[in-house]
Amino acid sequence: MPSELSRRRFIAGVAAAGAFPASKLARAGDQSRFDVAGNQLRFGGRPIRLLGVGVGDPVYVRGERPIGDYEVLARDWRSTAVRISVHPGHWRHDRQHTLAVLERDVTAARAAGLFVIIDWHVIGFPGRYAEPVDPSWGLPLDAFASDDVLALDFWRRVSARFGKDPGVLFELWNEPVYDGKLWRSTGEHWPVLKALWVRLINEIRSRSDAILIVAGGRWAHDLKGVAKDLIDDERVIYSWHCYPNEDRGVASRWPDSLDGLPAVKPVVVTEWGFSRDGDGVIRGTPEDFGIPFTRDILEPLKLHSMAWCFSSGATPRMLAPDGVSTTEYGAFVKDYLARSWRPET
């Protein structure tokens, strides 16, 4: 794996004493289920906050990672959930192998007592944009393929396989990009995005009533207008991605892009992070991004969150080259998970 993978190129790349342990909430075989009440996500009738990390995909990012990572994340990092990704290119070229390694990781995560978000790791939108891949990365050149037929096939198979597990959630589309040159939140593309999400939802609903997570535009950062035009499915919630370069220097940048949605529906920040030595998109520090983002957005709004990425390769990386010790960013995330607010039981 390259030593520095740009986020846009690769991905692109003290808690409450009464907090309920993940192991008591999400063990495989538990017949409790998720439900949505207004802007609150509940499990077994009790409020739950999904807190954890993205671990990347089981084929590439996790190709040499131990399954024991999930026990470590549940026990030492106090994660309640993990996000496991699947690249469209891997699915297209070898469905059988990709499904097998996905099943391996989902099974291990659930056995560790973690909720699991399965993420279709596409970047783009059908007929409009697909993120290019550098051949030197070792990924298929169509790794981020924004093919709606391929996505329908994936969710047909995955919802049939995992759709009865009450602890598994489906994130339909990683980062929608309708216009690769639009770097401000306008909400103008939500109607066309919503139409595709409804198609995918209809495919899944014939097999599963899982909680589904859908995104807005601009690499999943633009949620403007969504609160006034919600998807008509009570088990749909919304994702948001946030990195340091999003509207850097604009005082109201984060509330503006969220546009009041967290007051109406649960929002899961399925990617966030920073790196002191990263490229322009992810370059940031605890002082200029990590602290204000967690203090002013994640905690007061009580957003669910999955920091990206529990890896020594995919950036912003939480693990050092030895694959065990943490980077500055990884230490920040681990500390945040230890002190973040959790619902009392």
Q: Which amino acid is at 175?
A: E
Could you tell me if 83 and 174 are in contact, meaning their C-beta atoms sit under 8 angstroms apart? no
* Cα–Cα distance for residue pair 250/273, rounded to 1 Å: 18
What are the tokens at 211?
């909680």
Give the pLDDT of residue 30: 54
Domain residue limits, the chain: 7-339
Whether the Cβ atoms of residue 211 and residue 246 lie closer than 8 Å to each other = no
Q: Which three-class secondary structure state does DSSP give residue 116?
A: strand
DSSP type of residue 32: -
Distances (CA, A) of 343 to 50, 113, 210: 11, 17, 22
Q: What are phi and psi of 242, to 5 degrees?
A: -145, 125
- E-strand stretches of 175-235: 175-176, 212-214
CATH number of 7-339: 3.20.20.80
Return all residues near 193 (Cβ < 8 A) that are at least 6 apart.
125, 176, 178, 214, 215, 216, 217
Q: Which residues, 6 or more positions from 232, have their beta carbon under 8 angstroms from its beta carbon?
A: none
pLDDT at residue 20 in the model: 34
Cα distances from 153 to residues 100, 243, 292, in angstroms, run: 16, 30, 40
Q: What is the pLDDT of residue 148?
A: 97
Distance between CA atoms of 215 and 270, rounded to whole angstroms? 10
The Cα–Cα gap between 75 and 78 comes to: 6
Phi and psi angles of residue 261, each rounded to the nearest 5 degrees, phi first: -60, -40
Q: Which of 189, 175, 279, 166 is nearest to 219 (CA)?
A: 175
Output the tens digit of pLDDT for each of the chain's 345 residues. Answer: 333 344 433 333 323 323 333 444 455 455 699 999 999 999 999 999 999 999 999 999 999 999 999 999 999 999 999 999 999 999 999 999 999 999 999 999 999 999 999 999 999 999 999 899 989 888 999 999 999 999 999 999 999 999 999 999 999 999 999 998 888 999 999 999 999 999 999 999 999 999 999 999 999 999 999 999 999 999 999 999 999 999 888 889 999 999 999 999 999 999 999 999 988 899 999 999 999 999 999 999 999 999 999 999 999 999 999 999 999 999 999 999 999 999 986
